[in-house]
Structure 1
Amino acid sequence: MWNKPKPSLLLFPILFFVSLSLSAQVLTLNEAVETALANYGTIKAKNNYLSASKATLQQSKKEYLPNLNLSAQQDYGTVNGQNGPLYGMGLSVASSGLPLPQQNWNAAFGALYLTNVNWDFFAFGRAKERIHVSASIVDRDRSDLEQEKFQHSIRVAGAYLNLLVAQRLTQSWENNLERAAALKNVVVTRAKNGLIPGVDSSLANAEVSNAKISITQARDFEQEQANVLARLMGITNQQFTLDTLFITKMPQSIDDSATVSKNHPLLKYYSNRVAVSNQQAKYFQTLGLPVLSLFGVFQGRGAGFSSTYATDQHAYTQNYFEGIKPVRANYLLGIGATWNMTNLLRTRQQVLSQEFISSALQEEYNVVDQQIRNQLILSENKIRNAVANFREAPIQVQSASDAYLQKSVLYKNGLSNIVDLTQALYILNRAETNRDIALSNLWQALLLKAAAAGDFGLFLNQ
C-alpha cells in the first residue's frame, strides 16, 4: 500500500531549491548601486551633516526672535550700605541699604522677581545675512551629498565591471586548463606507445601545472575585486552572480558627443563652497555696524526690612514669608543703540581674509573644472581605442583558434612538435583574454565619459 510522505520530507526539497535559486540570483548593476547608496558609511555620514545644517538654518531663523528672560531669587542677608565708587564686574552683592554709623549683623529674607525682554530689532541686515549663510551651508552640504552619491555610483560601477571581467578571465583560464589537460592525455598516451619522445609528456605536465597556477592567480584577483565591490556596497557577502550584459553587448550610443553638464555634481559642490564663503564675507561686514534694541523690564521685590529701618534698626522681621512677599514693583521701557566702533577695524580684516578664501576656493573650482574637461576628452579617445580593440578581438580569437586546431591535428599526426603546439595554446588563451578585456574596456571608457559629463544615466541608459 502506498504510504503518504511526511510533510518534513516534502518540505526539504522545496527549501533546497528555494535556497539554490536565491544563491544564484543575478545582481544587476542598478541593484548594486542602490545597495551601495543605502549602506555606505560615508553617504550616511554626509546625510547627517546635511540634517545638522538644516537644523542650524532653523536655529538661525529663530535668532531674530526677542530674548525673554524670567528670573526669581530669594535671599537671606544683611543690608549694610557704604558710600563709595564701584565698577560692576559681577563679583559683588547688590544689598540695598543706607550707610549706617556702624556695622550691624541684622539679617532678614528678601526676594527679587524679574521679567526682561530684549530685542535687537535692527542691525543693518546682520540676522538676515546670518540666515543666508546658514542656507548656503545647507546648499553646500546637499551638493556634497549628491556629488558623493554620484562619485560612489561611478566607483561601484567600475568595481562591478572589474569583477565581471575577473570572473570572465577565470573562466578563460579554466577553459585553458581543460585544453591543457586534454593535450596532456593525448601526449601521455602517445608517449607510452612510443610514438613521441617522453620529454613531450613532461612539457605537457608543465603546461597543465602552469594552467592550474594561472587559475589560482585569476581566482585570487577575482576575490580581490569581489572584496572591493562588497566593501563599496557596505555588505560582507562576497559571492556575486553578475549580469554578463557588459561583456556580451556593445553600448548603444558610444559615438554620441557629450559636454560637461552645468549641473555636474562635483562642480556644483565646488561652486557652492565659493557661495558659502562669499556669503560669510557679507555677514562679517555687518558685524562692525550698530545694533538698535528695544527692551522692557518688570520687577517685583520683597524685603524683611521696614522702610523705617534707617532710623530704627529694630524695624525688620526674620519671617520667611513676609520677606519673600513682593511689596514693591517697577517697570521700564526703552530703546537703545550700541556700536563698538573698533569692530570696524576688526571686521575689515576679517572680510578681507574671507575674500581671499573665496578666491582660493574659486581657483580650486577652476582646477576641478579643467580636470573634468580633460577627462571628457580622454574618455572619447579611450572609447575610440576600445572600439578598435573590440572589433579586432574576434578576428584574433578566430585566427588563434584555427591555428591551435591546425597545430593539434599536425601534432597528432606527427607533423609538428610539442613546442609549436603549446605556443599555439598560449596564443589562443591570450586571444580569449584580450577578447574578455576588450569589451569591458569599452564599458569602462563609457563610464569615464559619464563621470566627466556628470551624467550617470549616460552609462546606465545603455
Structure 2
Amino acid sequence: MFVQAQEQQPVIGLPHLLERVVQFAPSLSADSASINIRQQQLHTTSFNWLPALRLSYQTDIGTNNNLPGGYFGYGMVPTNSRVREAGNSSSILTSIGAAAFEWELYNFGAYDAQRKVAESDVVTEEAKLVQSRYQLQAFTIDQYLQLMRLQDLRFIQEQNISRNGEIRRSVMALAKSGIKAGVDTSIASAELSKARLVQIDINNQIRQIQLQLAALSGMTPESIVADTGIEQHFINYLPEQLNDTISLRHPLLDYYHSLYNNSLYKEALVKKNYNPRIMFNAAAWGRGSSVSASDEFRALAKGWGLERANYLVGLGITYNLFDVKRKQLQLSTQKASTTYALKKLKEQQVVLQLSTDQANRELVTARERLSEIPNQLTAATAAYRQKLSLYKNGLTDIIELNMALNLLYRAEQDYTVAKYNYCKAIFQKAITENQVDQLIDPLK
C-alpha cells in the first residue's frame, strides 16, 4: 500500500479553513446585514403606540360669501362657514392656529401582534444566517475533501510518471543493445507523455478548487493546501460515535420552523388589524378675523392674531363593518402561506432522514471497499515488479509491461477514491445530523 509523503508547502487544517470562511464569506456578511434591518424594524414597532400631535397656523385672505348646503369636501374645498343674506365680495383676512392630538389608545392587541411579527422576522433572518453558514460549511468540507483526493491523485500521477520514465530509460538501453525493437521506445515515450498530460489536468482541477476556497476564505489560492494526513484519522474513526438521530436544532429545520411560526404570527396580526380601535382625540384652536362678531368688515390688519379660542376633547371607537370580507380574504391568503411553510418543514425532515440513511449505507459500502482494496494494491504492485524484471531481462514485451503498470495505476486510484468516499460518507452523515463540530474538534 502506498503512503503519500507530506506536502512540502504548509497545509491548512479543515477547522481553520472553516473558521476563515465563516469570518470572510461575502454571502454571510450580506445575511448579517439583513438581520440588522429586521432588528431596526423591530425597534420601530416599539414606537407604534406613540400618539400624533399636529401643530398648524395659517393666515389667509379672500372673500366670505357663502350659502347654506352640504357638500363633500374631498380635501379640495376651503372652509367658509358664514352664511350671508346678500352677496359680498369684500376681502377679509383670517388667522387660525391649532394643535390636534390623536392617540390610538387601545386596538385590542394589534400593537402586540405587530411586535411579535417583527420579533419573528428577526428570528427568521437569524435562522437564515445559520442555514447559510451550515450550507457554506457543507460546501467547504466537500471542496476540501475533493482537494485531498486530487492531491492524492497528483501524488499517484507523479509516481506513475516516475515509473514510465524508468521504463523508458530501460527501453532505450535495451534498444541500443539490440535486445528490444526501436518501436518499444516510441511506445514508452507515448505512455510517459500521456501521464504528464493527466498530471496537467489534475493540477488544473486543484487550482480551480483553490480559487473557489480562496474567494470564500480571503486567503491566497497558493496557501490552500489540504492536509491529506487527516484521511487516516477518519479511516480509523468509528462512525458509531455519531448519533443516528437528526437534531431538533438542525439549521435547515430551524429555518423552516421559523418560517412556519412567522406565518402564524402574521395570521394573528391580520385578525388584530381588523379589530375596533379606541381613539383619544383632543384639539385646541384659536381664530382671528377682520370681520367682527357683529358682521362688521374691519381693516385687514385686524385679521392678524387670535381673538377667540376653543378646545375639544373626545373618546371614540371606530370599526368598519365592511372590513369583514377583506379580513377573510387576507386571512385565507396568509393561512395558505402557513400551510406551505408547514409542508416545506415536513419535506425537509424527510429529505434529512433520507440523507442520513444514504450516508449510513455509503459508510458500510466504503468500509467494505477499504477492506478489500489493499489486496488489489498488493497484487498489482507485485505483478508490476515481476513484469518490469522480466522486461529488463528480455523475457516479456512492452505491451504486457504497460498492462501491469496500468493495473497498478488503477489500483492506486481505486484506493484514493475509496478513502475519499469513506471520508465523504462520514462527513455527509455528520452534516445531515448537524454533528460536524463533534467530528472536527479532535483536529483542532
Question: What is the TM-score with the length of structure 1 in the denominator?
Answer: 0.88
Aligned-partner Cα distance in 1 for 2:441–2:372: 26
- 1:112 alignment counterpart: 96
Aligned-partner Cα distance in 1 for 2:304–2:104: 33
Pairing 1:281–2:290 present? no
SS in 2 for 1:299: strand
Corresponding letter in the other structure for 2:316: G
Indicate which of 320, 324, 332 corresponds to 1:352.
332
Aligned-partner Cα distance in 2 for 1:223–1:271: 39
Corresponding letter in the other structure for 2:411: A
The answer to whether the 8 A contact 2:214-2:224 is kept is: no
The answer to whether the 8 A contact 2:362-2:425 is kept is: yes
Indicate which of 125, 129, 134 corresponds to 1:145.
129
Aligned-partner Cα distance in 1 for 2:287–2:9: 81
Indicate which of 60, 63, 66 corresponds to 1:75.
60
Deviation at 1:44, TM superposition (A): 1.9
Aligned-partner Cα distance in 1 for 2:429–2:193: 41
- 1:16 alignment counterpart: none
Note the aligned Cα RMSD (angstroms): 2.1
The answer to whether the 8 A contact 1:230-1:237 is kept is: yes
Aligned-partner Cα distance in 2 for 1:346–1:84: 35
- 1:432 alignment counterpart: 412
SS in 1 for 2:212: helix
The answer to whether the 8 A contact 1:288-1:341 is kept is: no
* Residues 63-462 of structure 1: pairs in structure 2 closer than 5 A: 63-99=48-84, 101-108=86-93, 110-233=94-217, 237=221, 239-250=223-234, 252-256=237-241, 257-308=243-294, 310=295, 312-313=296-297, 315-317=298-300, 319=301, 323-462=303-442
Greater Cα shift, 385-394 or 117-126: 385-394
Aligned-partner Cα distance in 1 for 2:290–2:306: 10
Indicate which of 5, 12, 19 corresponds to 1:34.
19
- 1:46 alignment counterpart: 31
Aligned-partner Cα distance in 2 for 1:276–1:353: 14
- 1:17 alignment counterpart: none
Corresponding letter in the other structure for 1:183: I
Aligned-partner Cα distance in 1 for 2:123–2:59: 49
Corresponding letter in the other structure for 2:53: L
SS in 2 for 1:77: strand
Corresponding letter in the other structure for 1:344: V
Greater Cα shift, 130-139 or 26-35: 26-35
Greater Cα shift, 83-92 or 451-460: 451-460
Greater Cα shift, 224-233 or 364-373: 224-233
Gaps of 5+ in 1: 1-22
Deviation at 1:155, TM superposition (A): 0.7
Deviation at 1:184, TM superposition (A): 0.3
Greater Cα shift, 34-43 or 415-424: 34-43
- 1:11 alignment counterpart: none
Gaps of 5+ in 2: 1-7
Pairing 1:58–2:43 present? yes
Aligned-partner Cα distance in 2 for 1:290–1:249: 67
The answer to whether the 8 A contact 1:143-1:268 is kept is: yes
Deviation at 1:213, TM superposition (A): 1.2
